Amino acid sequence: MTTETKTDQEKAKELSDKIFKTVTDFKDSFQCQKCGKCCEEGSGVALWPHEFKRIQRLKKHIFRYITYLNNWHVLKMPCVFYNKRSHKCKIYDKRPIACRLYPLGITLDGSTRISSNCTAIKKEGSNE
Tens of pLDDT, residues 63-107: 999 999 988 899 999 999 999 999 999 999 999 988 988 888 866
Please, which residues have CB within 8 angstroms of residue 114's CB and are 6 or more apart in sequence?
A: 103, 104, 105, 121
Rounded to the nearest angstrom, the gap between the alpha carbon of residue 15 and the centroid of all alpha carbons in its chain is 18
- pTM here is 0.73
Report yes or no on 103 lying in a domain.
Answer: yes
Give the whole-angstrom CA distance, residue 26 versus residue 37: 19
Report yes or no on 7 lying in a domain.
Answer: no
Give the whole-angstrom CA distance, residue 77 versus residue 96: 14
Q: What's the pLDDT at 1?
A: 46
Q: What's the pLDDT at 94?
A: 94
Which phi and psi (to 5°) does residue 77 adopt? -105, 150
Report yes or no on 25 lying in a domain.
Answer: no
Helix, strand, coil distribution of the chain in percent, nearest 5: 45, 15, 40
Q: What's the pLDDT at 47?
A: 93
Boundaries of domain holding 119: 35-125
Report yes or no on 101 lying in a domain.
Answer: yes
C-alpha count within 13 angstroms, C-beta hemisphere, residue 36? 15
Structural domains counted in the chain: 1
